[in-house]
Structure formats: C-alpha cells, structure tokens
Amino acid sequence: MKFCLEKKDFVDVESGSTKLAVIGDDFQLTWSEFEQKVNDLVAVFTQNGLNQLANPVMVYGHKSTNMLVAFYAMMKLEIAYIPVDMIYPKDRIQKIIETTECQVIINTTSTSLAIEYVTEIELSKQSISIQSNTKDYRKSSRNEDPIVYIIFTSGSTGEPKGVQITTEAVQSFGRWMSSDDFGFTANDCFINTALLSFDLSVFEVMTFGYLGGTIMLNSKEQCADPNQLMERINQFKGNVWVSTPSFALTYSRIEDTSLLSSIHTFLFCGEVLPHPLAKKLKASYPKAKVINTYGPTEATVATTIVEITPAILEKYETLPVGKSKMESQLIIEDKEIIIAGPNVSVGYVKNEKLNAEKFYTVNGQRAYKTGDNGYIENDMLFFFGRNDDLVKLHGYRIELNEITGALNNIEEVAQGETIALKRNGDVKKIVSLVQLSPNSTLDAKAMLSILAETLPNYMLPSDIKIIDQIPLNQNGKSDKKLLELVYLGKV
C-alpha cells in the first residue's frame, strides 16, 4: 500500500497493509490503520462543510502520528496545510494565522489553543472532535495546481515568510525520491530528526508515502538523547538517516555502531557537509552511503544530489553538493545559484514585493534566485555560502563560510562556526567558535597558524573561542544568534 501523489489517494491497498506506516512519538499505525484514520478525518471535514476550504489549515503538534494523518488527509482533500510545531510561541502562530487567513486548526496536542474566530479540530488517538466553530468559511474553486503545503521560514525583516509548494512541485519531488538517484524502496524506514515545520522533514514525510515505506518520528527529547535515539533506531530497524550535518556530528564519534547497523544511507541537507564528518561516517559505517544534497525551501527541499565516495573525499576538500535533480535546472548568474523547474515555489504568501525580487520565469519554467553563491565544476554544483554571509571588514569582502570551511578541514576540529560581530550595522570583528574532537590538545593559536596556511591574513578571525558544544537551533542547524551570545559571555 502507498499514497499516490498523482491520484491524491491510497493505492495498492491489498499489499503491505499490515506493515507499519507511521511510528510516532506517541503511537504507531499500520498502513491499513493509517488509511482508515486519514479517511475518518476526511469524512469529518466533509460532514462539517470543510472539504472545500479556500484558506490553508494549520496542523499543530510535535512529532505525533496524527500530524501525518492530518497532512495526508489535507492532501487527499486538496487543502493546503501549514505544519506548526508546538514549540512555536503564540505570537508567531498568530502572525501565521493572520498572514494566511487560516480559519481551521487541526490540533494534535491535548491542550486547546483557543484562538478566537478559528475552528479547532482536536485530533486524538481515539477520536476527532470540533472544539469551536466558525460558520463563515471561504470556499475555493479548485485550480489546476493546488497548494499542498506552506512552510514558514524566518524573514530578514523579522516577519515569517510563507513558502507555497504546489502539487506539481511535490509530484516532481516524489518522482525524484523514488528514482535510481536515491535507490529507496518500500522496505525503507525513514528516520526523522527535524521538526515537521522545518522543510528538511519533507524528505521523509513525502517519500515514505510515495513509496509505501515507513516513517519514524522522533521527538525533541529523543533527538537530544543519542542513546535513546539509537535504541529506537535499532528497535524499528530505521535505515535511512535524514538530518543536518550538525545533528549527525555526535553520532560520527560513537565507537560502538552496532545500534545503528541497520542504516544504509545517511542523507544530509540544510548546511554545508564538512569533509571531516563525511570522512568519519564513511570510516565508521563503511556499508552505508553518504548522500549530500542542497536546496532551499523555495525549491521543495532539495535540488541536487551527490554520493560522497572515497574518491570524492580524496579529490575535494570542499565537498560538492552534486548534480541537479531530474526535471530541474541550475543557473549561475554573478555567482548566485538560480533554480528553475517544476519544483520551484509559486512564491510567498502575500509578499508581492519579495516575490518580484526572487521569482521569475526561465524558458517557461518557474525560477528562484536563492541568494546562495556557488559554482559548477565537473558538472557538479559547489556551494560557496549565502550572499548574507558575505561581509566587508577593513575594505575587504570576506566570505564567512570560507573561514568556517577551512576550520572544519582541520583534523582535530569537530565543528567550527564563524560569525561577524556588528555595531550599528557595521562589521567590527570576525570571530570563530570551535568544538574540538575528544582528546584534542589544539589551542586557538595553533588553529590560527593552520588557517594562515590556506587563508589570506585579512580573512583570519580576530579570535577563536573553544567551547564545549556548538549550539543548534530548533531546525538542527548551528544557532548563529546564540553563538554570538556565547562568544560575548552572555549565556
């Protein structure tokens, strides 16, 4: 059994119906049980006149099996959904509701949000109930390419940006994930680490359904405890690891890998994959593939792919992010990466000014200006940092990501990050924070000497601070704001 993204329904229902479909933080569903719960939620929407909503539905919770039920019910109804994790503050939730004019929330937690003028549907393990009711629902006339989901990312102005991903984009993504590029099958169990409100999770959320596989959702608490997560992976034989490189760092240093022996693929996205991390994973898990990908939320999670082989590791210090996915095209203009294809978003919700700046058309295909720098060598894309990582100090233009890359190439550095300290908008100082490998005796002076061998003097950080651990944000990426506070001694 699987969910067909073209038909928006379950197909091949006679096969594999007793196999686990969703392993949540709270409970599990086989494929037949998953289909039944999805259909039950669809029926509630239909019976209450909600099956033709024009505005998107918010799905609220944290790593619950019912969040997946809600996602797939909305796909079946062709109603856009907005995944929102319960760690989001109420103010952010309110902003999202106002921006999207959301009228319905599917709440998978046990605590009511009680938001005025919004219908709240409580979706529990045992039942579905409507807690409040708004009678004036906007109804839609279906378009040819309906929005599947809207993921909100942080905006430079402080206002969240709602990225709209359509049916065409999701279908293109599904075809790619089921292709020989990845080699995934219905026998795979996808290990989820990212929040479901973070686009990295779309890898698992869509692929398990498209293939008829299994998704294993792991809570924030489970992800924070390596022993607990490894036990869980071993119990359910999770075999496709999906995370940011920063999140995987801890697991690359574990000597006893027996609890992770089921893993056949490590799939990375969201950050630069450091050479030492990939090398260590290949050594610790010689039978597993290490796959590096790249892509922004606006291009449906990822656009490029490369398997990091021993030959790639030997040839490149800075690892490539790979070749373009099928049906998509990479364009480099003034060093900026532009993505064109059916996987590109139709734009941000109610943000025409930014849409005009970032989205346009190339040869009849949607195109997106990523704001990322890169170059193509040997038909592979190499990521070279974001435009906003490019700073100016003492008259020099400095790419912070290049300093970070050089740091991470130092053998005894587990993870390094570089930030710019600003005053009144001007860069005053560039500093690096470093988490060393266990038993390392490196100090800041030694690291600066090593960096001086590859970086010009003006690019050397003014200071290197050694810390116990690089802090991660809620999406599993290095937390740059918290790093600044750590450096300044404010936390």
Amino acid found at 486: V
CB atoms within 10 A of CB 334: 7
Whole-Å CA distances, 38 to 75, 133, 240: 10, 21, 25
pLDDT of residue 157: 46
SS3 of the chain: the string is CEEECCCCEEECCCCCCCCEEEECCCCEEEHHHHHHHHHHHHHHHHHCCCCCECCCEEEEECCCHHHHHHHHHHHHHCCCEEEEECCCCHHHHHHHHHHHCCCEEEECCCCCCCCCCCEEEEECCCCEEECCCCCCCCECCCCCCCEEEEEEECCCCCCCEEEEEEHHHHHHHHHHHCCCCCCCCCCCEEEECCCCCCHHHHHHHHHHHHHCCEEEECCHHHHHCHHHHHHHHHHHCCCEEEECHHHHHHHHCCCCCHHHCCCCEEEECCCCCCHHHHHHHHHHCCCCEEEEEECCHHHCCCCEEEECCHHHHHHCCCCCCEEECCCCEEEEECCEEEEECCCCCCEECCCHHHHHHHEEEECCEEEEEEEEEEEEECCEEEEEEEHHHEEEECCEEEEHHHHHHHHHCCCCEEEEEEEEEEECCEEEEEEEEEEECCCCCCCHHHHHHHHCCCCCHHHCCCEEEECCCCCECCCCCECHHHHHHHHCCCC
Would you state the structure tokens that stand for residue 462, as one six-digit string? 């003014």
pLDDT of residue 69: 98
> pLDDT tens digit string along 455-469?
878 889 999 999 999
pLDDT of residue 134: 67
> Can you give the length of the chain in residues?
491
pLDDT of residue 233: 98
Give the CATH H-level superfamily of domain 394-487: ANL, C-terminal domain (3.30.300.30)
CATH code for residues 2-377: 3.40.50.12780
pLDDT of residue 399: 81
pTM: 0.87
Residue by residue, pLDDT tens for the chain (491 residues) are 999 999 999 999 888 899 999 999 999 999 999 999 999 999 999 999 999 999 999 999 999 999 999 999 999 999 999 999 998 888 889 989 999 999 999 999 999 998 988 999 999 999 999 987 666 888 877 778 999 999 998 654 456 799 999 999 999 999 999 999 999 999 999 999 999 999 999 999 999 999 999 999 999 999 999 999 999 999 999 999 999 998 998 898 888 999 999 999 999 998 889 999 999 999 999 999 999 999 999 999 999 999 999 999 999 999 999 999 999 999 999 999 999 999 999 999 999 999 999 999 999 999 999 999 999 999 999 998 777 777 888 777 788 888 998 899 898 999 999 999 988 778 899 999 999 998 899 999 999 999 998 887 888 999 999 999 999 988 888 898 999 999 999 98
Would you state the structure tokens that stand for residue 328, as one six-digit string? 């998509």
pLDDT of residue 56: 97
Domain ranges, ordered by start, for the chain: 2-377, 394-487
